[in-house]
Homo-oligomer: A and B are copies of this chain.
Amino acid sequence: MTPSPTPEPSGHEHQVEEVLELVRARGGRVTTARRQLLEALFEAPPHATAEELAGAVQVRAPDVHLSTIYRNLDELERLGVIVHTHFGHGPASYHLASSPHGHLVCETCGVTIEAPEELFAELTARAKDRFGFVIDSRHFAVVGRCAACTAAGRE
């Protein structure tokens, strides 16, 4: 395969290279799969699942296997570049660690609302006071029912 220098006009090269620098600093290698996954992470909407990211990567590099995606997501998480969240059911969702926020997920229609971290400030403080428990509000989903479903009385 011809290693064309910069085949993707994505606009995120700088950020991607920055992360790859981190990878390199840790003795890691810069591979096509790695680079493409990072591209995908910067381009994709937040809350992408591993499978969705694999799809995006495979547009450019069809041979990248799902297990490679998982392994790289793992490593990026260890590096602190991304975070993954388990919503109630279904696959986990991955997003960049920058722009911290929590998630409100509707049990009825499945919609996800991004909630500013500040919304959790009081809960976080109280949990710390009362239980010494340090909440990571980016890493879990708050479930319930969204305004539309509540109004419609759906079940």
Residues of chain B lying within 8 A (CB to CB) of residue A141? 140
Residues of chain B lying within 8 A (CB to CB) of residue A119? 123, 126-127, 130
Residues of chain B lying within 8 A (CB to CB) of residue A139? 88, 107, 143-144
Q: Taking the complex as formed, is A86 at the interface, i.e. its CB lies under 8 A from any CB of chain B?
A: yes
Q: Taking the complex as formed, is A64 at the interface, i.e. its CB lies under 8 A from any CB of chain B?
A: no
With an 8 Å Cβ cutoff, the count of chain A residues facing the other chain is: 33
Residues of chain B lying within 8 A (CB to CB) of residue A123? 119-120, 122-123, 142
Q: Taking the complex as formed, is A135 at the interface, i.e. its CB lies under 8 A from any CB of chain B?
A: yes
Residues of chain B lying within 8 A (CB to CB) of residue A144? 127, 133-136, 139
Residues of chain B lying within 8 A (CB to CB) of residue A150? 132, 134
**What's the Cα separation between A105 and B57 when bound, in Å?**
33
**What's the Cα separation between A13 and B13 when bound, in Å?**
66
Given A106-B133, A119-B130, A133-B145, 11 more pairs with CB closer than 8 A: A104-B133, A113-B131, A113-B133, A119-B127, A122-B122, A132-B151, A133-B144, A135-B144, A136-B143, A136-B144, A139-B144
Tell which of A104, A106, A136, A144 has the most Cβ of chain B within 10 Å: A144
